Amino acid sequence: MHNDTQHLRYTKGSKIYIYCPADHATGGPEALHQLGHHLRLLGFDAYMYYFKMHNTDTIVHENYVKYEVPIAKTVENKPEHIMIFPEATLQPIFSRKYRSMQKVIWWLSVTNYHIFLKDYTAVVNRKLRLRIRKALGMLAIPTFENLKKNQILSIAHSYYSLVHLRENGIEPIGQISDYMNSAFFELAEHEEPKEDIIIYNPRKNDEFLDEIIRLTPDLNWKPLANMTPNEVAGWMNRAKLYVDFGYHPGKERMPREACIMRCCMIIGKTGSAAYQPDMPIPEKYRFEKNNDQIPQIIERVRECLNQYDERVNDFKPYRQVLYQEEEKFESDIQKLFVKE
């Protein structure tokens, strides 16, 4: 079902509310604050509307105070107002509280939606007796079917999410990606001499990378774990290579940060990393997670270290894209949010 006629109506008196977890710092909430910040810069009346995920007195996480988006304590349920939901917190999307509003989902992560849907379906099924569940439960769960039925609009984030939505019969009204934090570009300007260090995120990788590390005991592998953002940036600044065979539910931040810091990259082909529009790097740096690929991967790792000065130029086009992300973010917002 391709429905191209729908768009967001913003008129005099409209307010935009962004549904966001309180005091929570990960890629998703950062993107939501960036959206609020830029909507306001463009003259839209936008607010963060927080909900608590854990017991906290802090509402705005200290990392996001700088975005200066005002907080809405309550929401006016009126047709001229817009509520933006991230894909992983859709519990209230069919609530009476928001019934009259224009509702739109921003698909920051494909995977998080499926995890949410599975957990939420289980909760609804546990709470409802069978008879009521049949009548009520299936309507209350934000499956792709129900989102279409209720004409909930969608905005893609990565090219990967765009493909996924279309495969499930949903045509997004457009695509808005986020952008890298300006603090990162400032750190990238302090160029340090590169060393033969290979960095990776142990939380995102598994035994596949462990096996590569085991086979290369002569190489200097540095896990980026339990570090402040500044420490991560420091290691990225010194390392020649970033390796990532983790699953990419959307456009991940760490590979973008590594690229800005002039690291070469070797990447797997799962999730968004497989798509050239999401990660425009030469194909020879992208590998399937197959054990028979390991000798070739190790060869490419050594090549990136030994011929760093040449190889790093292969990532220049991607770096340029990253330097223009914030401008693109703004022009994408202007295409979707139109003042009538």
Residue ending a domain, among 121, 154, 178, is: 178
Tell me, yes or no, whether 334 lies in a domain.
no
Tens of each residue's pLDDT in the chain, 340 residues: 344 446 788 898 999 999 998 876 676 788 999 999 999 999 999 999 988 766 666 687 777 888 989 999 999 999 999 999 999 889 889 888 899 999 999 999 888 899 888 888 887 777 766 656 555 545 578 999 989 988 899 999 999 999 999 999 999 999 999 888 777 787 777 778 999 999 999 988 888 999 999 999 999 999 999 888 788 888 999 999 999 998 888 888 889 999 999 999 999 998 888 888 899 999 999 999 999 999 999 999 999 999 999 999 999 999 999 999 999 999 999 999 988 8
Residues 262 and 200 in one domain: yes
Residues 35 and 148 in one domain: yes
Residues 273 and 306 in one domain: yes
Residues 231 and 166 in one domain: no
Tell me, yes or no, whether 331 lies in a domain.
no
Distance spanning both ends of the chain, measured CA to CA: 26
Please give the pLDDT value at position 138.
53
The whole domain housing 224 covers: 182-324
| DSSP annotation string for 89-158 | --GGGG-GGGTTSEEEEEES-HHHHHHHHHHHHHHHHHHS-HHHIIIIIHHHS--HHHHHHTT-EEEE-S
Tell me, yes or no, whether 332 lies in a domain.
no
Residues 99 and 235 in one domain: no
Q: How many domains is the chain built from?
A: 2
The answer to whether the beta carbons of residues 232 and 224 sit under 8 Å apart is yes
Please give the pLDDT value at position 324.
92
Alpha carbons 181 and 315: distance in angstroms, whole number: 19
Residues 134 and 198 in one domain: no
Report the DSSP beta bridge partners of residue 46. Answer: 16
Residue ending a domain, among 144, 178, 212, is: 178
Please give the pLDDT value at position 139.
59
Taking only Cα atoms into account, the Rg of the chain, rounded to an integer number of angstroms, comes to 22
Please give the pLDDT value at position 112.
86
The answer to whether the beta carbons of residues 250 and 109 sit under 8 Å apart is yes
Residues 133 and 222 in one domain: no
Tell me, yes or no, whether 27 lies in a domain.
yes
Write b or e for each residue in 212-234: b if 16 or more Cβ atoms lie within 10 A of its Cβ, otherwise e. bbeebeebebeebeeeeeeebbb
| Domain CATH number, residue 157 | 3.40.50
| Domain CATH number, residue 192 | 3.40.50.2000
Residues 129 and 260 in one domain: no
Alpha carbons 65 and 159: distance in angstroms, whole number: 29
Please give the pLDDT value at position 133.
56
Residues 215 and 311 in one domain: yes
Tell me, yes or no, whether 167 lies in a domain.
yes
Tell me, yes or no, whether 78 lies in a domain.
yes
Residues 31 and 123 in one domain: yes
Please give the pLDDT value at position 294.
96
Alpha carbons 146 and 207: distance in angstroms, whole number: 38
pTM (2 decimals)? Answer: 0.86
Residues 26 and 157 in one domain: yes
Q: Which residue has the tokens 């609804």?
A: 124
Cβ-Cβ contacts under 8 Å for 139 (sequence gap 6 or more): 94, 146
Q: Which residue has the tokens 């070797």?
A: 266
Residue ending a domain, among 123, 153, 178, is: 178
Identify the H or E element spanning 230.
Answer: helix 229-238
Q: Under the phi-then-psi rule, with left for phi > 0, alpha for psi from -120 to 50, and beta for the rest, what region is 311?
A: alpha
Tell me, yes or no, whether 285 lies in a domain.
yes
Tell me, yes or no, whether 112 lies in a domain.
yes
Residues 202 and 134 in one domain: no
Please give the pLDDT value at position 176.
94
